[in-house]
Amino acid sequence: MADKGVQSLVESHLQERQRRKEMLIRGWSKHLNAINEHMKSKHGREMNEAETYNVAQCLENAVDYSARGDSRLFEATTEDSIKFLGIQLCAA
Is it the case that residue 51 has pLDDT exceeding 50?
Answer: yes
Query: pLDDT tens digits for 70-86?
Result: 555 555 555 555 555 55
Q: Is the full-model pTM beyond 0.85?
A: no
- Please give the pLDDT value at position 87: 52
With contact defined as beta carbons under 8 Å apart, do 25 and 32 qualify?
Answer: yes
CA-to-CA separations, 22 to 3, 73, 83, 84, in angstroms, rounded: 29, 26, 25, 22
The Cβ-side half-sphere exposure at 88, using a 13 Å CA radius, reads 1
Contacting residues for 23 by C-beta, under 8 A, at least 6 apart: none
